């Protein structure tokens, strides 16, 4: 006799499928674990026993984020591993600007129906980025919610916890007039501005995803799925005390993110001619007739992280981070001026 389908599965939530899929991820997730991780994946909470040796006053730093409508590109292309890397790296960068190094990461994946192939791709991206970032993936949540999402779609979010010695915490208080702004080059749109980019590229210009960007051999799909870089290792390579502040250029672009770390009476003066803005941003700006100021408020424009250093250490900082000098701190209201 054929086995009758369980009532919950008939309603759209297959608990047994979820359990089978999760059983196959232990090896993948455990590859991110060090001796600090206690217990096994699948418990009610992840266990992490930190080692704060060498720190006088350790401070825990946490952040939570998602990847926005970049997910729409993953849905359209059927590629989901880069989304996992994007999320982890974005979260690491958000705590790196405070001077923290990552300790552990937790994920949340929700969709209408669990697709084992897609689920594994996302988890592979999480694990890869966690390994490369020195961060343990210690747990998460997978929610099946039929009726909440369009078929084949899902959402992801992540929470990260890191640590910084209080004496090395970056809060912007050391920033002074004359400090130099160093830009670390971006790698595409990262995880912000995709709603506007998709509107211009696919609704107004109607460009196919598999077509190359004009003047390049890179397709729109590949360009739009470039992995958000993790800047924390570069920042950690700088000698102690060299950083006066840092800003992760995410939603809000250069205009809104840099002021978050500036003290009162300090203005960021940026020379937009100091770096080459990638062609994709020009295409979006001209195709959508987007004012230049709005471009710098929505997108990173080719600069993924901004470091603030004293002028005497600017050359050294550029050499160690492969960054470029893009401006300086001047007297004025706490804002950004793009020249």
Sheet containing 245-248: give its strands across.
Answer: 245-248, 303-309, 180-185, 324-331, 266-270, 336-338
Please check whether the two domains, 7-168 and 180-338, share a CATH topology.
no
Residue ranges of alpha helices (H) inside 6-70 are: 7-10, 15-23, 26-30
Cα of 22 vs its chain's centroid, Å: 25
pLDDT confidence band for 166 (50 / 70 / 90): very high
Question: In which residue are the tokens 């026993």 written?
Answer: 49
pLDDT tens, 144-159? 898 899 999 999 999 9
pLDDT confidence band for 276 (50 / 70 / 90): very high
DSSP string, 212-249: BPTTSS-BHHHHHTPPPP--HHHHHTSPTT--SEEEE-
Report CA-CA distances (Å) from 51 to 48, 138, 267: 10, 16, 39
pTM (two decimals): 0.92
Spatial separation of the C-alpha atoms in residues 178 and 309, rounded to whole Å: 9
How many CA atoms lie within 13 Å of 5's alpha carbon, on the beta-carbon side?
A: 9
Tell me which CATH code domain 7-168 carries: 3.30.1330.10
Average pLDDT score over residue span 200-209:
95
Residue ranges per structural domain of the chain = 7-168, 180-338
The mean of the pLDDT values for the chain is 92
pLDDT confidence band for 11 (50 / 70 / 90): low
Does the 180-338 domain belong in CATH 3.40.47.10? no
């Amino acid at each position: 006799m054929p086995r009758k389908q369980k009532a919950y599965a008939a309603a759209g939530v297959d608990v047994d499928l979820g359990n089978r899929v999760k059983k196959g991820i232990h090896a993948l997730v455990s590859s991110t674990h060090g001796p600090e991780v206690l217990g096994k994946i699948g418990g009610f909470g992840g266990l992490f026993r930190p080692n704060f040796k060498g720190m006088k006053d350790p401070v825990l730093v946490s952040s939570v984020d998602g990847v926005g409508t970049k997910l729409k590109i993953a849905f359209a292309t059927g590629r989901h591993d880069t989304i996992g890397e994007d999320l982890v790296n974005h979260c690491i960068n958000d705590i790196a600007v405070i001077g923290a190094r990552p300790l552990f990461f937790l994920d949340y994946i929700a969709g209408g129906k669990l697709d084992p192939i897609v689920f594994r791709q996302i988890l592979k991206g999480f694990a890869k980025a966690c390994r490369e970032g020195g961060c343990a993936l210690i747990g998460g949540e997978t929610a099946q919610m039929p009726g909440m999402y369009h078929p084949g779609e899902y959402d992801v979010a992540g929470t990260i916890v890191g640590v910084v010695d209080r004496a090395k915490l970056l809060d912007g208080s050391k920033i002074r007039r004359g400090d130099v702004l160093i830009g670390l080059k971006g790698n595409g749109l990262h995880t912000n501005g995709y709603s506007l980019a998709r509107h211009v590229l696919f609704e107004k210009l109607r460009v196919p995803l598999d077509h190359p960007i004009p003047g390049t051999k890179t397709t729109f799909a590949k360009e739009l799925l470039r992995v958000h870089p993790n800047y924390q290792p570069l920042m950690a390579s700088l000698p102690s005390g060299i950083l006066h502040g840092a800003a992760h250029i995410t939603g809000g672009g250069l205009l809104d993110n840099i002021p978050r770390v500036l003290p009162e009476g300090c203005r960021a003066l940026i020379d937009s001619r100091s770096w080459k803005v990638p062609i994709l941003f020009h295409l979006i700006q001209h195709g959508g007739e987007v004012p230049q100021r709005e471009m710098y408020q929505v997108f990173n424009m080719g600069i993924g992280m901004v470091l603030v250093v004293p002028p005497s250490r600017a050359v050294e900082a550029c050499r160690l981070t492969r960054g470029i000098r893009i401006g300086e701190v001047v007297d004025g209201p706490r804002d950004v001026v793009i020249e």
